[in-house]
Amino acid sequence: MPFHEDELDEAESTHFRSLTAAEAEGDERAVEAVLRPRTLDEVVGQVRVRDQLGLVLEAARRRGRAPDHVLLSGPPGLGKTTLSMIIAAEMQAPLRLTSGPAITHAGDLAAILSGMNEGDVLFVDEIHRMSRPAEEMLYMAMEDFRVDVVIGKGPGATAIPLEIPPFTLVGATTRAGLLPGPLRDRFGFTAHLEFYEPHELDLIVQRSARLLDVAVEDDGTAEIASRSRGTPRIANRLLRRVRDYAQVRAGGVVTLPVARAALDLYEVDELGLDRLDRAVLDALCRRFGGGPVGISTLAVAVGEERETVEEVAEPFLVRNGFLARTPRGRIATAAAWEHLGLSAPPVNVAGDVTLFED
């Protein structure tokens, strides 16, 4: 695909200038675009989702109809945006992109919907952050392919029905639990993306190394994969950081010792925990005696937004058994204390021992 190369050239040439934060972000985005799989066959892992989605799309193609609405949920960087682009590409349909926070008024959504053509794919990122009136308009659009556009205000207001050609809505969310039931129920296919296994991430790193023309050895890519928090976006980012290290401080080849030295330098530990993950565990154990503590308090303690702690750090920590959610708040597990090199307090703070019982 020709525009792959262009994007890559641009990303590579900016790489050697000194970058401002914004430029660096642009650079990362350009590289991310290059590395994005373009077809379902190129997607690594997520076998079940790929299989199910492939069937949904194939059936729709045979019927000559727009596929059912699709909801993609899961932690950041696991492939939601990638899959939405693939859905459009596989259906050879134009893709329109918007996001929940961008739709502040129902009118914004009406404008988008009224410009849709039959079979178009509408991608709404962060769909759980859409405003209430827009959400209600979306229910109707999804089910009946119709919206009521309200003209005027007060008693004189009239609703004008507007037909919309059948389209496919692809919604993405890091927080499926926050979606109202009526919205969730209107998706014909829901896919929850899981963290990737190390061997899958290894394949992703190897593929990316090929695309970015980075010389790698097998145990070097395996090391990057095992420290990538189960997340392709992080795997790709770590590969680029290790490449920097290899080019500047080593012979240019990503070997095991090079990968280890580089990842240590960037403070990504051997289990893949990064600074934020460790800060959360550290605050939980040292400042709150292992919990239970509310997520907002924990977020303040590490100087981060609540959403960041909840959506970025927590799912990985929970899935790896370092942190548990209880009705009374977050608690550290024995593995967390051990990972920080601390001894757990003698009382089982995680249990239901209360100070007033005896």
Ligand X SMILES: Nc1ncnc2c1ncn2[C@@H]1O[C@H](COP(=O)(O)OP(=O)(O)OP(=O)(O)O)[C@@H](O)[C@H]1O
Pick the catalytic residue from 27, 50, 80, 231.
80
- Residue 255 binds to Mg ion (criterion: CB under 5 A): no
Scanning residues 160 to 219, which ones bind ligand X (CB under 6 A)? 174, 204
Min dist. Cβ of residue 279 to ligand X (A) = 20
What is the total count of residues that contact ligand X (CB under 6 A)?
Answer: 20
Scanning residues 10 to 39, which ones bind ligand X (CB under 6 A)? 32, 35-37
Min dist. Cβ of residue 84 to Mg ion (A) = 8
Active site residue 125: yes
Answer whether 265's CB lies under 8 Å from 275's CB. Answer: no
Residue 112 CB neighbour total at 10 angstroms: 18
- Residue 81 binds to Mg ion (criterion: CB under 5 A): yes
Binding span for Mg ion by CB under 5 A among 33-41, 74-82, 91-99, 276-284: 74-82
- Residue 84 binds to Mg ion (criterion: CB under 5 A): no
What is the total count of residues that contact Mg ion (CB under 5 A)?
Answer: 2
Q: Give how far Cα 265 sits from Cα of 74, 178, 245, 258, Å.
A: 29, 37, 9, 11
Q: Is 328 annotated as a binding residue?
A: no
Question: Which is it for strands 95-99 and 121-125: parallel, antiparallel or unpaired?
Answer: parallel
For ligand X, give the closer residue by CB, 54 or 133: 54
Q: Which amino acid is at 116?
A: M
251's CB contacts (< 8 A; 6+ apart) are none
Pick the catalytic residue from 27, 50, 120, 125.
125
Pick the catalytic residue from 81, 173, 255, 333.
81
User: Which residues are paired to 162 by β-bridges?
Assistant: 147
- CA–CA separation, 358 and 350 (whole Å): 18
Scanning residues 115 to 144, which ones bind Mg ion (CB under 5 A)? none
Q: Is 196 annotated as a binding residue?
A: yes
Q: Is 81 annotated as a binding residue?
A: yes
**What residue 79 binds from ligand X, Mg ion, none (CB within 5 to 8 A, per partner kind)?**
ligand X
Q: Is 38 annotated as a binding residue?
A: no
Q: Is 186 annotated as a binding residue?
A: yes
Sign of CA dihedral 252, 254, 260, 265: positive
Binding span for ligand X by CB under 6 A among 57-65, 87-95, 102-110, 231-239: 231-239
Binding span for ligand X by CB under 6 A among 75-83, 87-95, 143-151, 294-302: 75-83
How many residues are there in the chain?
Answer: 358
Active site residue 104: no
Tokens of 188: 């014909």
Tokens of 300: 């303040």
Active site residue 80: yes
Binding span for ligand X by CB under 6 A among 44-52, 211-219, 313-321, 343-351: 44-52
- Residue 73 binds to Mg ion (criterion: CB under 5 A): no
For Mg ion, give the closer residue by CB, 100 or 291: 100
Active site residue 308: no
For ligand X, give the closer residue by CB, 279 or 312: 312
| 216 φ/ψ angles, rounded to the nearest 5 degrees | -130, 155
Answer whether 344's CB lies under 8 Å from 334's CB. Answer: yes
Q: Which residues are catalytic?
A: 80-81, 125, 174, 233
Residues that bind ligand X (CB under 6 A): 32, 35-37, 43-46, 76-82, 174, 204, 232-233, 236
Binding-site residues from annotation? 35-36, 77, 80-82, 143-145, 186, 196, 233, 306, 325, 330
